Amino acid sequence: MKKIFPFFFLLLNSTWVFAQLTCATAVPLSLGTVTAPDVTGDAPATGCSLGLPGSKGLWYKYTATQNKTIRIATSTIGQNADTRLIVFTGNCTTLNCLTANDDFAGTFSQVTFNAVAGTTYYIVFDNKYSSLGFNITLSEVVVVPDRLSFTPQSVSTGGSFNNCVVDMNGDYLDDIVSVVSPTQIVISYQQSGGGFTSTSYTVPTTTITPTWSIAAGDYDNNGYNDLVYGSGSGIAFLKANSDGTAYTSDRKSQSFLVQRTNFIDINNDGKLDAFICDDNAPNRYYLNDGTNMNHHQGGLGDFPSGGNYGSIWIDYDNDGDMDLYIAKCSGGGSGPGGNIDELHRNNGNGTFTNVALTANMANPTQTWSAAWGDFNNDGWMDAVVGINSTSNGLSKVMKNNGDGTFTDKSAGSGYNTTNALSREYVAHDFDNDGFLDVLGAGNTIMFGNGDFTFVPNPNPYSIDYYDRPIGDLNNDGFLDIQNGNTILMNAGNTNKWLKVTLKGTQSNRNGIGARVEIYGAWGKQIRDIQSGTGFGNMNTLNAHFGIGQATAITKVVVKWPSGIVDVINNVTPNTTLNVIEGTFLDTKETQTAQETFTIYPNPTHDIINFKATNDFTPVEAKIYEMSGRMVLQTKVERNSISIKQLNIGNYLLILTDKNGKNYSQKVTKK
């Protein structure tokens, strides 16, 4: 054997003369086709987006002489090769991933990228799946440009569960939460000047990770968001301490297969509760008594064998409280299946009624989530019910008629011609044109046209199928998508935008459940503040609007879960507006909203009288200082109350009727 060794050594050495075997000797490619030999050279250090590299590689390079879109494709030379193609920029000392592809057509690869004049691109093939030779074709192509492009930017997240983008330190800048293990999270805090600073936290006794879903909300109203993990064996809460610098956990004992999780104030007491989809049984929810999150089951989707995948809370009937829609998926059999979607109307008194059938929302579609939003800007929340399987039909586009019913607008919508599938369907305005889009149906954004038609981006995006949380990660007013250790930074366009951030005082601190409206040349746009949209991810809690080329926002209205309404006139586009509950009260607005209901006299030094209507007869009154402190709580008798005991000044009056409906108005004690 010893004698053979030098022979092999020589053989290996001699192969160095074949140029394409190392980076340093990469063979220059030009337009046309060349044949690559068997894959026997140096392996690349990384497979980039393809994961680990093979053990061998082949090296080529291309230097652009002018800015062109270049396509590189492999094809067979008559044998069953299975190629992987990776393109790097940089130099042989420092190579940076540009793009990569494995199976574009059958087992052959293809990439297309915009080459910049003077730049050298290293084109590398590895032997992960086969070492057989193949053809390489390099061509210049004219591609349909992206409607909206994203620029990959690296970020160090630390963990393997990367499904949460939300503000965690109370500065309203979206941060990145990465769960490393049951005992560790890493939060990458967005800095005001851009970029991130990461902090690792040890979280004891969580025992689970957010394998199925994660949601964020400030359930103890202390100014720092808390988290809920959804796993195959129940949930755990992670609670931030008083300054957001440490987390404790509350692992709940109920063990069940969790799907979507949401923070939502189910009983509208100003404290966030948690709603939890149970895959196999009636849904669970944890009501917040101010100290504990207490387990309940029953009343919010009780199909015996579950099938509950994507819960989302919206105010579909514009009555000021949040309703529950459940995207459902389940196997068949005779009789009603667990796949029939449900729409639970909030009756305003702590009870809910499934109205899906009369609303025309009891679809059998096999769906894991639905994107809700006002797709035609008529002031009513519509839905795209997105498929995860085609076995019960394609995705459905449902228009809210404003009378409690929905009309199927799928025909011609763009969703009727795609059988692309997703777990995640979420509505955002990614291109800031003033019309909501949907990230969902494979790896594309379906850009909304404002009329229930949607057009996919001409080219699919490189996005993880599951973990794709959304937020504004560089605070430029365009929504970005986190994709593990890469952020797809929205390259933006000239459209303008507005972000509205909320701080509840009577309502929950996040303002989850609030309706935000903006008015301008486009008419009206609305958003509901939601924790837990899509299937497994947590997306930003900041309301984001695009307004196209409009130059003025005449009015922003925030309707809080408490019933308080804030109105802010003439808001500057391309800014972030922070609204603290009750600081922008507008008497005229609230009176208009309630029409004939009035209070008098105002200002007063003692008695306030209410002129009741059929719709609203107050039974209880609460009066708050403008700081949010409650100073008076009293029953309303004979349609009046006395505020004689109060000091002179301005106050916020909140009236509640027997159905739990609220009315708020600023009053002055003189």
Partner 1 sequence: MFFSCKDDERIEGVKIESSFVNFDINAVPYAKLSTYAFFKGDLKNLDPVDKVIPYEPASSLFTDYALKKRFIWMPQDVKATFDADDKTLNFPVGTVLIKNFYYNTIQTGNTTKILETRLMIKKSSGWIFAEYLWNDAQTEAELVTGTDFTSGSSKNITFKKDNGDIITTDYRIPSETECYACHKLDNKPVPIGVKPQNLNVAYNYPNGLKNQLQKLVDEGYLQSYPSNIVSTVNYKDTSKPLDIRLRSYLDINCAHCHQDNARCDYRAIRLSFSQTTNLAKMGVCVMADEPIDPSLERIITPGNPNKSVMHFRLSSINENNRMPLLGRTIVHDEGVELLKQWISGLNQTCP
Binding site for partner 1 (CB under 8 A): 50-51, 80, 82, 84, 101-103, 106, 128-129, 211-212, 231-234, 253-257, 278-281, 297, 304-306, 329-335, 337, 339, 366, 388-392, 421, 423, 464-466, 536
Nearer to partner 1, 181 or 197 (CB): 181
Q: 549: which 2 tokens?
A: 């080329």
Residue 305 CB, nearest distance to partner 1 (Å)? 6
Q: Which residues of 582-603 are buried (b: 16+ CB within 10 A; e: fewer)?
A: bbbbbeebbeebbeebebeebe
Nearer to partner 1, 85 or 653 (CB): 85
Residue 39 CB, nearest distance to partner 1 (Å)? 16
Residue 648 CB, nearest distance to partner 1 (Å)? 55
Residue in 648, 647, 666, 517 with CA at minimum distance from that of residue 587: 666
For residue 6, the surrounding DSSP H or E stretch is helix 4-14
Q: Cα torsion at 560, 565, 567, 573 (round to 10°)?
A: 10
Residue 56 CB, nearest distance to partner 1 (Å)? 16
Residue 236 CB, nearest distance to partner 1 (Å)? 14
3-state secondary structure of 19: helix
Nearer to partner 1, 106 or 649 (CB): 106
CA distances from 506 to 292, 455, 542, 560 (A): 20, 41, 19, 9
Nearer to partner 1, 103 or 606 (CB): 103
Nearer to partner 1, 389 or 591 (CB): 389
Residue 279 CB, nearest distance to partner 1 (Å)? 8
Nearer to partner 1, 127 or 542 (CB): 127
Residue 164 CB, nearest distance to partner 1 (Å)? 14
d(CA 274, CA 448): 31
Residue 103 CB, nearest distance to partner 1 (Å)? 6
What are the φ and ψ backbone dihedral angles of 617, each rounded to 5 degrees? Answer: -120, 110
Residue 121 CB, nearest distance to partner 1 (Å)? 20
Nearer to partner 1, 83 or 413 (CB): 83
d(CA 30, CA 204): 58
3-state secondary structure of 434: coil
d(CA 13, CA 18): 10
Residue 622 CB, nearest distance to partner 1 (Å)? 37
Nearer to partner 1, 102 or 586 (CB): 102
Residue 466 CB, nearest distance to partner 1 (Å)? 7
3-state secondary structure of 416: helix
- Which residues does 204 contact at the CB level (< 8 Å), separation at least 6? 183, 248, 249
3-state secondary structure of 28: strand
d(CA 661, CA 351): 14
Nearer to partner 1, 251 or 496 (CB): 251
E-strand ranges in 20-117 read 27-28, 32-36, 57-63, 68-75, 84-90, 95-101, 110-115
Nearer to partner 1, 52 or 116 (CB): 52
Residue 629, number of CB atoms within 10 A of its CB: 8
Q: Which residues of 515-531 are buried (b: 16+ CB within 10 A; e: fewer)?
A: bbbbbbebeebbbbbbb
Residue 52 CB, nearest distance to partner 1 (Å)? 11
CA distances from 602 to 171, 219, 641 (A): 37, 36, 12
Nearer to partner 1, 444 or 662 (CB): 444
Beta bridge partners of 33: 137
Residue 413, number of CB atoms within 10 A of its CB: 25
Nearer to partner 1, 465 or 600 (CB): 465
End-to-end CA distance of the chain: 106
Residue 480 CB, nearest distance to partner 1 (Å)? 21
Nearer to partner 1, 342 or 581 (CB): 342
For residue 199, the surrounding DSSP H or E stretch is strand 196-202
d(CA 372, CA 652): 32
Residue with tokens 């819960």: 311
Residue 208 CB, nearest distance to partner 1 (Å)? 9
Nearer to partner 1, 293 or 577 (CB): 293
